[in-house]
Structure 1
Amino acid sequence: MRLPTNFQALVEEANGLQLYKALIVQLNKDLLLANVDLEFDSEVLPTSLKLILKEEVYNLIQNKFTEYLNLLYIIDVEEFRVRELDGDDIIKLSEEITFLTLQREWQKVWYKANY
């Protein structure tokens, strides 16, 4: 499996394989497991999904760092990929973490659908 390299490619692949709703379900499941008070409707637009998730990640980094780390652990975002990111700009960091989160969730959904 080749992972999408940007948000648009991820959404296009998920929609093309009719797995976008499964992606939302998986994300909601992991957010609940991480005790993050956020749930997406299955009909959420991709742009809204990205924006709302990015805002939540930003809030977690700024105000609830332990919960942020727990979320990354629950979702199973690779630690080395997080360490590669520049933490100086929190807004840019939250955007990159949002993509890594969605990319990992997509990987879970794709494997469940194909194996």
Structure 2
Amino acid sequence: MYVTPSSIDSLINQAEEEHLYFKLIEQTNKDFALANEAIDIPLDVFPFQFKDLVHEKVLKLIQFKFAEYLNLLYIIDVSEAEIKKLDGSDLVQLAEQVTFLILKREWQKVWFRNKY
């Protein structure tokens, strides 16, 4: 049964427990590439580094390439309603919350593909 993770750490732990951590990285790399914003995360990256690399990329997109950021969210299929709920007053915190939404959506894709 799919359990919605409550944080990035619980999401990554879930991916590792189900032996799908590498698939999560592959899916993230694939979708960023589809949005023409290659991220190229190595498969041997530690979980905290994985989270930080995605967060850094998202922050840069929000700050300097907003149209590309919106395109990325569209391609990954992040919920627009969830994005609208976020407080954009602190960009670093916003990027962290968006990173969680992105990874949560990527995890859904990986989990469902593995189960069905």
Give the whole-Å Cα distance in 1 for the aligned partners of 2:21 and 2:53: 16
1:65 matched to 2:60: no
Gaps of 5+ in 2: none
Q: Deviating runs (4+, > 3 A) in structure 1? A: none
Q: Secondary structure at the match of 1:3?
A: coil
Q: Secondary structure at the match of 1:107?
A: helix
Q: What is the number of equivalent residue pairs in this alignment? A: 115
C-alpha RMSD of the superposition: 0.7
Structure 2 residue identity aligned to 1:81: E
Q: Secondary structure at the match of 2:113?
A: helix
Q: Percent identity?
A: 47
Give the whole-Å Cα distance in 2 for the aligned partners of 1:43 and 1:90: 29
TM-score (norm 2): 0.97
Q: CA deviation at 1:37?
A: 2.9
Q: Secondary structure at the match of 2:89?
A: coil
Task: State the match for 1:103 in structure 2.
Answer: 104
Task: State the match for 1:84 in structure 2.
Answer: 85
TM-score (norm 1): 0.97
Task: State the match for 2:8 in structure 1.
Answer: 7
Give the whole-Å Cα distance in 2 for the aligned partners of 1:38 and 1:110: 21
Q: Is the 8 A contact 2:59 2:91 kept in 1?
A: yes
